[in-house]
Structure 1
Amino acid sequence: MLKIILYKQSSQMREFFATCAPKTLLVAPSPALADELGQKVDSVTIGRLISVQLSHYCPKFSMKKKADALLELSTIWFKFFPGRKVEEFFYIYELLSELRSFTLNFDLVSEIIDRVDETTKLAVKIFWKYFEDTNIVDESKGYELLSQVLCDARASKQEKQKSYIFAGFNFFSGVQIDYLKILGRVADVCILIPEIIYHSARPTDWPSWLGKNDDEVNILKLSDLDELNSKAFNDEAINVVYFHKNHLAITLKKYMDGQGQLPLATNVVLASSEVEFSQVNELPFVSATFKVTEQIFEHKFRAIFEKLDSIIFSSGESLSVAKYQQIVDELLTVAQKKEDYRQLKILLVIKKVSTAWEELSESNKNISLEVNRLIATVVQLELPRTSHVNFTANPKVGKVMGVNEYSLLDNQAQNIVCVTSDYPKISAADSFRFDEAALSSLAAIGPIKSGDLSNKIVKFKIEELLTKGGGVLFIERRTACEIVFWQELIDSFPTKIKIIPESNLFLSMEVIAKKQHLTGPLDSIKFSASRLQSYIDCPRKYYFQYIKHLDTEVDLPGSFTSAELGSLEHEVITAFFASSTEQQNIRELSINAIARLEKEKQKKIDQIYYKQILQEIMAYAQNGINFLAQLLESMPGLRLNFAYKIAGDILHSTGEIDCLLTDSQGKIRGIIDFKRGASSIPAATELISFEKIQLWFYSHAIGPIKHEDLVLWGYLCLSNLEKSLIYSADTATINFASGLDFKIREIKSEEWQKLLQDYQHYEQEKRQTCQVDQEMLANPLSEKSCSYCLVNKFCESRLR
């Protein structure tokens, strides 16, 4: 029987496990969580369970490792799609895997595949056919085989005596849910889900697919433990300590007892998607146990493949496999002499992988830079996983773990949650960015992976940690201000600010701005739109951003900032119209743009995050391209001037206009500013009242635009064109917009001229005021001005 067990707090799971039959097997999504939950019952990961069941019930089949599948499919990729990037192959492989997690019936997803570009469509069809013709058992095929064999009498009889508990999962795919329901018919199966998550799930979310409206599924609630545990989380106050970037260790030291020790039975939960040894090393104490993955091969791995890339690049387009392996052998000899066993291991795996790749096809005779990147990815998958574990003789000490590993911490322990901008983000995004029609089709086949639901699960865990026994949230101030997930979590609770001496310079907001921060007379200072806007929003915000030069965005490792993503989307749009080729591949332009920025910023984007940003850049750029292409078609004489720089004008302004519109004679016809999302676009009232000045600033800086010349003036929302805010004085342009999904607003001549004149006086007044301001007081224009301010959690305007 399949049972859905709903619990209000994780401590109820401990009691539930105590009542389970002796041979009950607990199934978890990861080894770390299996270890944590397995303290009470025998445990196993779901991957291991499927592997064991396959070998027992289907001995003729064995699960194909991802590394092996990548090698086989890459042979097809390089043969049928020569010259294409390997990153595109990885993207298509992930797309293939996600579609197969819904169903193995190709006909059910063929309509969705037809919506993608020709290269992706053809590759997915070829790969899918290859899987079917060769009987490759990937993860999804493994679930399907088990779902079929568990219906047999022999398997049913054996499984009837078994009991399973599935706990700690943030998602089940369509093929997994089919398997669980079949398993539930022949064995005793319990799936533990937080009650609040189950009831907040949408019809397309996995909890709804598991149990709702299914007569074969029992929904059971664990009784409330006591009045305290049944209390709503947000009735409790949480303790918050803010600290500066790179000051977590200093702040924690001030919190500790002075002996380098935490109070006994204190658990430290790092708000990281995957806890690394370096993160634990930052913690300034030794009184806690931990087990973390340690990337012992990473440094040498990077060095080896950088060297191989350099050799391939200098030799031309590629190396023969024989020459490539000769170089590997030479490196092996050096490593042996140095007794560098980590390097030895990496090189031996490289040789094994390159040999396997060569043997797959007669055409696999040369290794290019793209093939070398494939080999690097496969080698990473094949290298052994290592963990670092510490031990202590004191059984009462707490633990250090990641938020995804947390489940059964001691009720009596105090919990500390640490958040820094250096940690890989824990907030999740939706699965592949299918369009609405595709999502609607997929929702009829299986559950849609929802970033919103995953974030609710993480939020549930963190709320529970912080409301147990006086938990404390240590959070980097920028992260608290910039990351919406943390803003919403903190704002949903009554908050007690804990002041750690000298841990936060902003708690005493003295008047510290002096005139010498701005030097020289007014005409020697160049203002940008964003600089002047910052002062208008709040002088104190301006001080910290433009005089103290504090960073305005959290720069997470392995990812791009929102500003960098915006620049990439602009770059793709610009590159599309700059090319003389009629047919442009948006994906290729996007991949090239990402690669350029990675090199410029010296970043390496995480593979999981890569596919998300690639999809966003492609989708947002495509929206902008479609709009501008239609505009040019309706007005053939119009010219698009991208990234138009404002410089050297008599107003001493600076900046860059995303898209300046001119006619064939160079006369200015309008300004378009690209925005990634609707939240960045002001309301019409804010624009007219000069609360938001960007477009007015540009119009004033480049010289007044005559009303009769005004074709387009406004903000284009790349994520959703309907949310754009655009004005025009041109009747033809307004009529052109009638065929679009949004309305272009008409602006009258008298209104336009008056607004331009009023803004000129307004800008001059604000420049002069900023020049002589010696106090820079916290005086926000509106509550909205504080939303994305660096110091909004500490500012006197908020605390008073």
Structure 2
Amino acid sequence: MLEVVFYQNNQDLLQKLQDENPPLVICPSPQVADNLRSLAPELDIITISKWTSDHLKKLGLSRSRKSELMIKLSAVWRHYFPTESTAVFLEAFELFTELRSYTLDMGLLNEFLQELDEVVRKSIHVFWLYLDQEKIIDEHLSYNKVTESKHHMSMWFVGFKHMSGVQIDMLKTLSETQDIEVLFPYPVYTDSLPNDWIRWLSADEIKKTKREGPISEVRVALIPKGKANIVLNKFFETHPSFDLVMAGTQVGLVSYQEAQKEQSFFKTTEDLFAVELELLTNDLRKKLKELKVITVEEINTYFEEVRLAAIAKGEYRKLKMVELMGVAVVDYSEFQKTIDGFAIDIFEVIVRLNSPRVSFLSLEEHNQRSFLDMNGLNFRDEEREIVLLATESMGGFRANERILSEAMTKALRVIGPIKRAGLDFLFHKYELLSILADSKNVLLIEEQVMETDLSWREVLKHFDVMDFDLGVRYSIKKIQEYLSPKKKTGPFEQKYFSASRLQSYIDCPQKYYFNYIEKIENRPEERSTLGPDELGNLEHKIIETYFVENGFKKDDVINLDHHRKACVRVFNEYITASRLILNETEKARAYNEIMHYTWNGIVFLLDLMGTKSATGIRFEIPLGTNPWTLKGSIDCLIEIGDKKAIVIDFKRSSSATGTKAETLEFKKIQLWVYLLTLKHQGYDIDSFGYLNLSDLSDDKLFFDTTDAESLMNSSMEFAKDVIEKTISGIQTNTTFKPHPRESKVCNYCPVNLFCLKGEVV
């Protein structure tokens, strides 16, 4: 029997766990297992990784780790794709391991695979075939193999925030001969979506209970930015026994140092080997550049020299890196006898995966309190009092989520549950509500987090917020004005204007001044990441390149091979021409984005052109001569007849497009600039809007024929007035004072760090 057992809170869970004959309890990770042991020490608790390994041993089998798979598959892959970049392999490998979590039958993935570019699709076929032929057991196959073991007993699965399709299949198979229970928090279940993994186990209809009004009061203290350490010191003077929870999922040593106090316990990971690994791989790349080709024998000889030197000097971290690199070379050399740049990139990734896990922790004879992050809240001791700290630097509740096209998502949804960042947040919300509902606990939150973080708004809407006085009094300090003395006095004659210039002035006059009058550039020439504007420009260029090279015919569909080639060529040309120092992970991340975002854009345009019976498409169309001296270009113009067109402006995300209200209230005027100049040229506008390349379903800012015509008739005079007033304001302004329209417009301002943002000196 397979059953989902719901619980409301930790006390409810503990009561369910106190069975007369408790079965084996399986948890997703060591941390969750340790937390559960502290809550119920009498239970037999094991991680799912240890559980599967034990059963494989009984079957005479063993599981290959991710690093073992990567080194073997990379060497095999290089034989078939000798000229492709490391980024392509890493993308294909990560996608391959993710797809294996859905199903072990590659035939079920045919529809999904057809959406991939040719090299990635062939790579996945190579990987899959190699594992099958060599009978290699990866993590996902291990779940299938453990069902063959005859040594199973009744089991409870506790603490899982995600289960893959293969894990769910395992549970269903085991439940044919054993009693299997999955324990799950009911408040999370009620807000889950039909395709979340827990619904694949429980199809029961549930009744969602809507809370009427706040459930309780919560004590909240708003703290100024950068004052968390002062506030915590003051708090712990009067509340010495409180545990501290940092409201973030990736809290490091720097954040814990906000509250370094005696008799406090904390534990955090730290990479002590990163510098030595970087130096070693850089030396290998220099050696490769000198010799052009390195044989396995030559690299082993070099490693022996480095090893002996490290021993002589007592450089034991370097010694460990050389030893791990040597193991990777041995595995790689089973298939390849020479070492190239690709191999060195892979060795670096493999060694990082196999490096010892190091943690910093505090050593105290007696501990009054513990410091935790959000990952440490599972099954915590609810008797302990908690102070919860939320600052902007902790990053909140962000979760990584693979960007997939609509067609890819549809193809996977029928095979297994898709991991969703929204479900991760539901777990965090459930844990936070449990903490804040306890009247003895306290929330310390930075003011700007309360104002701008929607996640906290979602959590706190369930409470009456009661001000908690910490007794901290901040002396009024003189705010130093750095920027005003640096600015010249206007007015400044501007020879021309563009949509982006006008938008910058509307967002903040001082931002305009330093962008277009002083022209400050705050981005370093050499950097290790691509900026949002660079990614956006690359995506525009790829979409344009695709249509210029492929043309358009009625009922056209995307040519995946041409699309991939355009992505690779434009991306590589830009990386080469720019002074960018990107590691392979950053390259893979950037390439993954531009490939999927441009796929979305091309598919949208092809569908729109077919629907509208378009006669042509043009990109980067100059605004031409106009009465307002407006310069610039329109991202995309689809022609559907003589002087009749569709106007589209590409954006990377919904945050870049703004809201519908901002467009209609002329707080975002880019589209209006384009429409006004086109109308002046005699164009008839059929439809217009922003295209959110990250999400094709985000069509709130696309105005089709009827809406477009109505808006053009009712708003163009007003748009003209706003544009003319903005131009006049720029030409006559003498001081360009800081006055941001809202806080988010400061994000990419070149003087953001020094600006008072409208505060009074």
TM tier, smaller: 0.7 to 0.9
* In 2, Cα distance between equivalents of 1:386 and 1:640: 52
The one of 196, 199, 223 aligned to 2:190: 199
1:662 to 1:146, Cα distance in 2 relative to 1, 3 A: closer
1:340 partnered with 2:334: no
Per-residue displacement from partner, 1:274-294 (whole Å, max 9, x unpaired)?
443444344332332123323
* In 2, Cα distance between equivalents of 1:244 and 1:601: 33
Shift of 1:561: 7.2
SS at match of 1:745: helix
The residue that corresponds to 1:415 in the other structure is: 386
1:623 partnered with 2:616: no
**Greater CA drift, 380-389 or 528-537:** 528-537
1:498 to 1:435, Cα distance in 2 relative to 1, 3 A: same
Counterpart residue identity of residue 121, structure 1: R
Shift of 1:46: 1.0
1:521 partnered with 2:490: yes
Counterpart residue identity of residue 132, structure 2: E
Shift of 1:357: 0.8
1:54 partnered with 2:56: yes
* In 1, Cα distance between equivalents of 2:458 and 2:115: 36
Shift of 1:202: 2.4
The one of 709, 714, 721 aligned to 1:758: 721
Shift of 1:300: 1.6
Aligned positions of 1:626-645 closer than 5 A: 626=603, 640-641=619-620
1:703 to 1:441, Cα distance in 2 relative to 1, 3 A: closer
Aligned positions of 1:581-620 closer than 5 A: 584-586=562-564, 589=567, 593=571, 614-620=591-597
TM-score, length of structure 2 as denominator length: 0.79
Shift of 1:470: 4.4
Shift of 1:606: 5.9
1:21 to 1:313, Cα distance in 2 relative to 1, 3 A: farther
The one of 325, 333, 346 aligned to 1:358: 333
Per-residue displacement from partner, 1:511-536 (whole Å, max 9, x unpaired)?
99998786422335798756754665
Counterpart residue identity of residue 180, structure 1: L
Counterpart residue identity of residue 570, structure 1: H
Shift of 1:351: 0.9
Shift of 1:352: 1.3
The one of 273, 287, 295 aligned to 2:271: 295
Counterpart residue identity of residue 589, structure 1: C
Counterpart residue identity of residue 123, structure 1: S
Shift of 1:705: 4.1
The residue that corresponds to 1:225 in the other structure is: none
The one of 372, 377, 380 aligned to 1:401: 372
**Greater CA drift, 621-630 or 598-607:** 598-607
Shift of 1:341: 0.7
1:539 to 1:111, Cα distance in 2 relative to 1, 3 A: closer
* In 2, Cα distance between equivalents of 1:168 and 1:181: 18
Whether the aligned pair in 1 keeps the contact of 2:91 and 2:592 (CA below 8 Å) is no
Aligned positions of 1:738-777 closer than 5 A: 745-746=708-709, 754=717, 757-764=720-727, 766-767=729-730, 771=734
* In 1, Cα distance between equivalents of 2:116 and 2:645: 36
Per-residue displacement from partner, 1:682-727 (whole Å, max 9, x unpaired)?
6777546533322345678x89842248798653332327727568
Aligned positions of 1:503-522 closer than 5 A: 519-522=488-491
Percent of aligned pairs sharing the same letter: 25
Whether the aligned pair in 2 keeps the contact of 1:509 and 1:796 (CA below 8 Å) is no
* In 1, Cα distance between equivalents of 2:245 and 2:661: 45
SS at match of 2:55: helix
Shift of 1:460: 1.4
* In 2, Cα distance between equivalents of 1:571 and 1:504: 51
* In 2, Cα distance between equivalents of 1:749 and 1:38: 66
SS at match of 1:121: helix
The residue that corresponds to 1:110 in the other structure is: 110
1:266 partnered with 2:266: no
SS at match of 1:404: helix
TM-score, length of structure 1 as denominator length: 0.75
Shift of 1:787: 7.9
Per-residue displacement from partner, 1:25-81 (whole Å, max 9, x unpaired)?
43222222222222233432211111012112x11x211111111122112211112
Aligned positions of 1:363-402 closer than 5 A: 364-394=336-366, 397-402=368-373
1:389 to 1:755, Cα distance in 2 relative to 1, 3 A: closer
SS at match of 1:253: helix
Whether the aligned pair in 1 keeps the contact of 2:86 and 2:584 (CA below 8 Å) is no
Per-residue displacement from partner, 1:588-624 (whole Å, max 9, x unpaired)?
72697499679867675868xx877654432221233
1:753 to 1:350, Cα distance in 2 relative to 1, 3 A: closer
1:171 partnered with 2:171: no
Whether the aligned pair in 2 keeps the contact of 1:252 and 1:284 (CA below 8 Å) is no
1:561 to 1:474, Cα distance in 2 relative to 1, 3 A: farther
* In 2, Cα distance between equivalents of 1:319 and 1:668: 61
The residue that corresponds to 1:733 in the other structure is: none
1:311 partnered with 2:282: no
Shift of 1:356: 1.5
The residue that corresponds to 1:98 in the other structure is: 98
1:497 to 1:745, Cα distance in 2 relative to 1, 3 A: same
Whether the aligned pair in 2 keeps the contact of 1:415 and 1:466 (CA below 8 Å) is no
Query: Where does the alignment leave 5 or more consecutive residues of structure 1 unmatched?
Result: 150-154, 220-229, 728-736
Whether the aligned pair in 1 keeps the contact of 2:221 and 2:470 (CA below 8 Å) is no
Counterpart residue identity of residue 428, structure 1: A
* In 2, Cα distance between equivalents of 1:298 and 1:404: 24
* In 2, Cα distance between equivalents of 1:569 and 1:471: 48
Whether the aligned pair in 2 keeps the contact of 1:677 and 1:720 (CA below 8 Å) is no
The one of 198, 210, 234 aligned to 2:201: 210
1:72 to 1:385, Cα distance in 2 relative to 1, 3 A: same
Whether the aligned pair in 1 keeps the contact of 2:324 and 2:351 (CA below 8 Å) is yes
The one of 422, 426, 435 aligned to 2:397: 426
* In 2, Cα distance between equivalents of 1:431 and 1:577: 27
1:358 to 1:111, Cα distance in 2 relative to 1, 3 A: same
Count of aligned pairs between the two proteins: 725
* In 2, Cα distance between equivalents of 1:187 and 1:591: 55
SS at match of 2:418: coil
The residue that corresponds to 1:78 in the other structure is: 78
SS at match of 2:74: helix
Shift of 1:89: 1.6
